[in-house]
Amino acid sequence: MSKRIIAVALIVSLFALPAAAHELTIKNTAGNSPKAGEPFALTVQSAHKFIVPEEVEILSRVKAGIIEDGKFIESELKGNDPELCIDFSVTPKDLSGSFIVVATKDGESWCVTNEGGKSGARKDLEAQGLKVLSANKYDKYAKAIFNTSKEDKNFAQVLGHPLELIPITNPADAKVGEYFDVKILLNGQPYTGPVWATYDGFVTEYENTYAYYTEAENGEAHVKITAPGWWGIRAAQSGLPGVEGDYDHLNLRAFVLFEVK
């Protein structure tokens, strides 16, 4: 392969990879309501379209569960190939306030090589004789807020994810036509950058299509709610330092999900 072809492929890969990564989300697909002390069924979904599942993530790389008393209680995951998602459940102890459900993915290294895209560390693929053009890792974080109420403050818990969206507006107060405010932290510091938002059913035909776009300034963003339903607000940070020999760049994706009634 000529140097020119390699250079062109590298440029393409740098632009294509961020758009190619699936987004990690959580959904109550059964439409059931949580009950204290009883399992509450949910799914982890991975897709380019909001809440339209496209693939089952590698179970060993995904964790999901509920936040109880400030601690993460991990759930058992089950791959659901026919529905292209991961099934799990949480059991809220009581429903005196809202509760947060979390899903995270520790991404594998994904490399663009002279033989196409391949998973694996840069050094391992190069040891196999491949030319690695770029190596990226995508870590993903999603949290969904359920059972919100006017007086509740649980929705604003900070969990400490490397990239995290924390509602300022109580989801119970969210109204169509008004702004929903979120705080966004990148490694604990105010995030400045792009923010996307959309709701279930806005677009099912096209990938990477959102209902709203804005930019966070000094860790805050303002999203105008345009319809009732299950909403997701998303932030992303690409190009963070990688690990030598493993991946060149770390890329973070995060969602906060809630219902607007």
Q: What is the DSSP string of 173-195?
A: G--TTSEEEEEEEETTEE--EEE
Look at residue 11 and tell me whether its pLDDT is greater than 90: no
Helix (H, G, I), strand (E, B), or coil: what is residue 156?
A: helix
Q: Which of 234, 250, 252, 251 is nearest to 51 (CA)?
A: 234
Look at residue 2 and tell me whether its pLDDT is greater than 50: no
Look at residue 4 and tell me whether its pLDDT is greater than 70: no
More confident residue, 10 or 22: 22
At 12 the pLDDT is: 38
pLDDT grade for 130, boundaries at 50, 70 and 90: very high
Mean pLDDT (whole number) for 67-77: 95
Mean pLDDT (whole number) for 168-182: 97
What average pLDDT does the chain have?
Answer: 91
Rounded to 5 degrees, what are φ and ψ at 182? -130, 145
| Distance of alpha carbon 75 from alpha carbon 91, whole angstroms | 9
| Distance of alpha carbon 197 from alpha carbon 110, whole angstroms | 26
pTM of this prediction? 0.89
Mean pLDDT (whole number) for 206-222: 96
| Distance of alpha carbon 132 from alpha carbon 50, whole angstroms | 31
Of all residues in the chain, what percent carry a pLDDT higher than 90?
Answer: 85
Look at residue 117 and tell me whether its pLDDT is greater than 50: yes
pLDDT grade for 141, boundaries at 50, 70 and 90: very high
Look at residue 20 and tell me whether its pLDDT is greater than 60: no
| Distance of alpha carbon 74 from alpha carbon 87, whole angstroms | 13
